[in-house]
Amino acid sequence: MKKHNFNPGPAILPETVIQQAAQAVLDYNGSGLSILEISHRGSEFVAIIEEAISLTRELLGLSDDYHVLFTTGGASTQFFMLAMNLLNEGETAAYTDTGTWANKAIKEAKAYGSIKVIASSKDKNYSFIPKDLSALPADARFLHLTSNNTIFGTQIHEWPAVPVPIICDMSSDIFSKPIPVEKFGMIYAGAQKNAGAAGVTMVILRKDMVRSDLTHHMPPMLDYKTYIAENSLYNTPPVFSIYVTMMTLRWIKALGGLEGIQKINQAKAKILYDEIDSNPYFKGTVAVEDRSLMNVCFVCDNETLENEFATDAKNAGCVNLKGHRSVGGFRASIYNAMPIESVQVLVDTMNSFALKKG
């Protein structure tokens, strides 16, 4: 039976990318060497990382005002790394608290500056994206946002107009739609949702954000200036993960870039949300205007029904649908590489469940 993998992460990869990566593990480009054992200083890998950078610039429409860096440690490392690099002690930064990962970012940043939480949806179980940012301090060096909340299923669809640079954790929706790059001083993302395999983190940093006046010690491996100076090759980077990212970006470009993938993502989300809204046995958990196109969260009226549907979904080949323990119910993660055919299988299963129960 074909499996339809709705895992929130590490997430589904394009089938062609998996096939190419599998071949590269055996023999990269006819070199007689595995991609796992080529030198990160050699011409083969330098070409890989340069193409990954070039594709990132092309797809996002980045100007020369931005650096494209590859780091390790996931977005969780960036929670403190960005604060270390961008704040001196006592300086102010503004954050919104829209979910578990935003909350973790706030906690880490507090060790390096004066962090002001200017908006939160925590008291409503993170079921919406707060829009009122009027509490933004005049002296804030940046505003930190989390674009998509994997656990609760909310997503920013309209970027705020603010007088400070926006720093954004886009781990779960980068490369899923066009964005107004000029609003951002920094974008960071773990690759394992839409941009490749686990193990590498992308950092897109505007050049004027780089500071030369930091008053605290910066370990080289946590200093953005190190990655800039060494083209992300200060030490051995995650070679295979960067290769998979490059291949994934090629795949996105072939689909029509971010405009093309956005249309596909909108179509997938529409058929699933339409079923949730019309099926009497399911209901969504977040504000309609803030629904995520990446992580669709829904519940049944009671645990018995949820257990029954979970069994039906598993029998249909739909796996990894269980919602996070803080929300319950179900979470269908439908990232870029999720085929619309798999979403249709889930919708058909939901419809069949309603017919059976009705």
Residues taking part in catalysis: 101, 169, 193
- Do 294 and 286 form a contact (C-beta atoms < 8 A)? no
- Do 118 and 70 form a contact (C-beta atoms < 8 A)? no
The residues facing 149 across adjacent strands are 154
Token digits of residue 132: 């009122």
- Do 249 and 56 form a contact (C-beta atoms < 8 A)? yes
Instruction: Locate all alpha helices (DSSP H) within the chain, ordered by sequence.
Output: 15-26, 43-60, 74-86, 100-109, 224-229, 239-254, 257-278, 303-315, 340-357
Of the candidates 101, 98, 53, 46, the one whose C-alpha atom is nearest the C-alpha of residue 78 is 101
Buried b vs exposed e over 10-34: b needs ≥16 C-beta within 10 Å? ebbbbeebeebbeebeeebeeeebe
Nearest 5°: phi and psi at 120? -150, 145
DSSP 287: -
Distance CA 147, CA 254 (A): 25
Tokens 């809204």 belong to 277
* Residues 6+ positions from 134 with CB-CB distance below 8 Å: none
Task: Say how many C-beta atoms besides its own lie within 10 A of residue 59's C-beta.
Answer: 17
Distance CA 312, CA 321 (A): 12
* Residues 6+ positions from 169 with CB-CB distance below 8 Å: 75, 78, 101, 102, 105, 144, 145, 146, 147, 188, 189
